Amino acid sequence: MIGESPAFKQALRVLDKIARFDVPVLIEGETGTGKELAARAIHYQGPRRDHPFVPVNCGAIPDSLVENELFGHDRGAFTDARDPRRGLVAFARKGTLFLDEVDMLSPKAQVTLLRFVQDQQYRPLGSNRQEEADVRIIAATNANLDVLVTSGGFRSDLFYRLRILQLTMPPLRERQGDPALLTEHFIGKLSVRFGEPVKPLHPATLAWLDRYAWPGNIRELENLICRNFLLAENGVIEIDPPESAAPLADGPADPLALGFAEAKAVVLQRFERQYLLSVLTRAHGNVTLAATLAGKERRALGKMLKKYSIDHPQRRFGT
């Protein structure tokens, strides 16, 4: 986990404390901020480090298969169940069960998970025996579960059981200086992986890394560097700002190089754009909900989004 920004260092301090205590953890953060990496760090710095870390993508499990995936089944539990099968909970015994995209669980699946989280007991499908689990549960989400609980989209009792301890991974746009450090790290990895010499980043590219909003966060940065590392000419990586989203603001990277009024306008523009991207992400792209969270009228928020040419990947207009 690489970074020197105050926001990232604060997240690491919280992570170090969380790792010591063997209770459920909820990790929140936008897509691509490194939630699974943080979960692995908690596991491998904690008392269960010598036992399995088992990740589960909750959004990829069909509702009808949740119990089977988690708890397994006995022979004859259903058609084609010719042999018993262990579930992911059994594979994670004495280790950590990482529930990624936990907000994607259906209401029925949430009830199933709640029952398990309460007492760490379960029954494989088709079995009469009660099994005792011994796992630490870490859940992650890129949604705002507080909002989902309020709207009825997520059970409050499950939410409070998962969020005994909480960690929020900061978005890359709030980690000034870290994009350059991460880029250096990615270039080093790519050099080893592909047997290519290390290729420096062009100064013009370095100049905009901290001014770009990075809606895809670290994953977007890594993919961008990988693509341009492989295609770089003359041994130098030179990248124009992505067309999918504009820099946070035009003009000098250092507002102090301007007069007071101009500097104030630049800083205000950067803040407004960062805030709009953040609130729109929390609302899953729903403009009506974003306006409510921001305490503004929907029309006024829409004008601000248009002003900064923001078209969030998940953006949709609520009714």
Q: 193, 222 in Cβ contact below 8 A?
A: no
CA dist 36 and 8 (Å) reads 15
Q: Please indicate, yes or no, whether residues 37 and 111 belong to a single structural domain of this protein.
A: yes
Q: In tens digits, what is the pLDDT along the chain, a chain of 319 residues? A: 899 999 999 999 999 999 999 999 999 999 999 999 999 999 999 999 999 999 999 989 888 888 888 988 776 555 566 676 788 999 999 999 999 999 999 999 999 999 999 999 988 777 778 888 899 999 999 998 999 999 999 999 999 999 999 999 999 999 988 999 999 999 999 999 999 998 888 888 887 888 888 989 999 999 999 999 999 988 889 988 766 444 444 444 455 555 666 666 666 776 777 677 767 767 777 888 888 888 888 888 888 888 777 754 443 333 3
Q: Please indicate, yes or no, whether residues 11 and 156 belong to a single structural domain of this protein.
A: yes
- Domain extent, residue 96, equals 6-170
**Residue-level pLDDT at 78:** 57
Q: Check which CATH number belongs to the domain holding 207 and give it.
A: 1.10.8.60
- Domain assignment present for residue 208? The answer is yes
Q: Check which CATH number belongs to the domain holding 130 and give it.
A: 3.40.50.300
Q: Please indicate, yes or no, whether residues 127 and 228 belong to a single structural domain of this protein.
A: no
Which residues pair with residue 167 across a beta bridge? Answer: 27
Q: How many separate domains does the chain show?
A: 3
Angle between helices 298-307 and 260-282 (to 10 degrees): 120
CA dist 155 and 158 (Å) reads 5
Q: Check which CATH number belongs to the domain holding 291 and give it.
A: 1.10.10
Q: Please indicate, yes or no, whether residues 132 and 113 belong to a single structural domain of this protein.
A: yes
Cα 281 versus chain centre, distance: 11
> Could you say which of 140, 170, 200 is where a domain stops?
170
- Domain assignment present for residue 1? The answer is no
Identify residue 29 by its one-letter amino acid code: G
Q: Please indicate, yes or no, whether residues 159 and 194 belong to a single structural domain of this protein.
A: no
Helices (H), the chain: 6-19, 35-44, 66-71, 88-91, 107-119, 145-151, 156-162, 178-194, 203-209, 217-231, 260-282, 287-294, 298-307
Q: Please indicate, yes or no, whether residues 34 and 136 belong to a single structural domain of this protein.
A: yes
Q: 210, 241 in Cβ contact below 8 A?
A: no
Q: Please indicate, yes or no, whether residues 197 and 122 belong to a single structural domain of this protein.
A: no
* Dihedral angle over CA of 264, 266, 268, 271, nearest 10: -140
Q: Please indicate, yes or no, whether residues 151 and 260 belong to a single structural domain of this protein.
A: no
Q: 302 is written with which tokens?
A: 């829409």
> Could you say which of 195, 227, 247 is where a domain stops?
247
Q: Please indicate, yes or no, whether residues 69 and 154 belong to a single structural domain of this protein.
A: yes
Q: Please indicate, yes or no, whether residues 94 and 139 belong to a single structural domain of this protein.
A: yes
**Strand 72-73 to 53-57 pairing:** unpaired
> Could you say which of 247, 268, 298 is where a domain stops?
247
